[in-house]
Amino acid sequence: MTTEMTELKRLIDALKREPVDRPPCICPGGMMNMIVENVMDLTNRTWPEAHLDGEAMAELAAGQPENGGFENYGVPFCMTVEAEAMGAPVSMGDRIHEPRVTGYVMSNSDDMASLKEMDLSSGRTTQVCRAISLLKKRNGDIPVIANLTGPISLATSLVDPSLFYKDMKKSPEKVQTLMDFVVEQLVRFGRAQVEAGADVLTISDPSGTGEILGPKAFERWAIPALNGILDRLSPSVKGTIVHICGRLGGVAHLLDDIRSDCISFDSITSAKELALRLSTKSLMGNVSTLAIETASPEHLKRMAKVCMDQGIDILAPACGIGAGTALSQVRTLVDSAKERKSS
């Protein structure tokens, strides 16, 4: 294939494991933050203000692809929007630090009375959707990626994780009630983002990994919750991505059961081994974020080449990049993908 593709078509075809002219290079947003200080300077839009205003959020996200960076738009830039909309207190951070949840809504896993449905009529949920709508109108060739906090990660932002993980064994009925509620709220927010114009949906669940849960609990809790979201939202988007942190060796045999198009994963997991074990997924990642920030351009290009040689379909950071990362380093990563022409 020699015809150059749009960024949107290239990403969708790569997600679906269709032929592409070269791998896309993206960073979805959400937990997989794509914003760096250089882009703040270029757009004159900064954190924390851009977390709160849809127009500023859109301008900041657009600053990546419009300045030679990642080949997508992705919002929001953190994992706190859903928890805040359900009542959790959140610190907005500063120019280089992302927002974080500062307290729990629930006193225990059974404290459902303290929870409220996600507010989609005001606050940051509406600003995220506004940003998506503005980005969709800005350039139809650039994919707009919506983001959801993974269900277990959201649950452990609402209640102390130590209590939640214990109750998975001690009181599974309590955990199931909470998870059902969390999934329903995530579907509502995901649907709002899709209706605003998102092309692709990414779910990132750093608290729901195989390393934290173990294979049995990952199969019992993480997969059904993820699929509960994917089954209801996938028909409305062009592609879906699930990001899972940590080592995936212990749960690699279960990943085909997740009904996403793509699995995104950490640099600690071997792309080569995962490519051999997964039969239905495209693979995204898994360039070390530390290397993106600190490695020489030559070393970074070598690392990107190794990732693609080992089976990566969509070149991306292994996690969210630090705001101090130079935009020139992101451009180096994008150039590595551009130089990878299909044979």
Q: What is the pLDDT along the chain (343 residues), one digit of tens a residue?
A: 446 899 999 999 999 999 999 999 999 999 999 999 999 999 999 999 999 999 999 999 999 999 999 999 999 999 999 999 999 999 999 999 999 999 999 999 999 999 999 999 999 999 999 999 999 999 999 999 999 999 999 999 999 999 999 999 999 999 999 999 999 999 999 999 999 999 999 999 999 999 999 999 999 999 999 999 999 999 999 999 999 998 898 999 999 999 999 999 999 999 999 999 898 999 999 999 999 999 999 999 999 999 999 999 999 999 999 999 999 999 999 999 999 986 4
Q: Which of 285, 275, 278 is nearest to 307 (CA)?
A: 285
* d(C-alpha 229, C-alpha 172), whole Å: 20
Q: Is 152 helix (H, G, I), strand (E, B) or coil?
A: helix
Tokens of 112: 């459902």
Angle (CA) 123-137-147 rounded to 5° is 45
Strand partners, 243: 204, 264
Q: Taking the model in full, what pTM does it have? A: 0.96
Tokens of 330: 């992101």
* d(C-alpha 198, C-alpha 186), whole Å: 15
* d(C-alpha 65, C-alpha 198), whole Å: 16
Strand partners, 244: 265
Helix (H) or strand (E) holding 239: strand 239-244
Tell me what pLDDT residue 3 has.
Answer: 66
Distances (CA, A) of 305 to 159, 162, 298, 329, 332: 41, 40, 11, 15, 12
DSSP state, 284? E
* d(C-alpha 80, C-alpha 292), whole Å: 25
Tell me what pLDDT residue 322 has.
Answer: 95
Distances (CA, A) of 221 to 157, 212, 251: 16, 12, 13
Check if the beta carbon of residue 11 is closer than 8 Å to that of residue 65: no
Tell me what pLDDT residue 1 has.
Answer: 42
Tell me what pLDDT residue 235 has.
Answer: 97
Tokens of 141: 């060739």
Strand partners, 263: 242, 283
Strands (E) across 224-313 are located at: 239-244, 262-265, 282-287
Tokens of 89: 């207190």
* d(C-alpha 36, C-alpha 50), whole Å: 13
Q: How does DSSP assign 140-153, residue by residue?
A: TTSPEEEEEE-HHH
* d(C-alpha 122, C-alpha 205), whole Å: 25
Q: At what angle do helices 151-158 and 172-196 cross, to 10 degrees?
A: 110
Q: How many helices (H) and strands (E) does the chain have?
A: 16, 9
Strand order in the sheet with 144-149: 73-74, 144-149, 200-204, 239-244, 262-265, 282-287, 314-317
* d(C-alpha 189, C-alpha 229), whole Å: 11
Q: Beta strand 100-101 with 90-91: parallel, antiparallel or unpaired?
A: antiparallel
Check if the beta carbon of residue 315 is closer than 8 Å to that of residue 336: yes
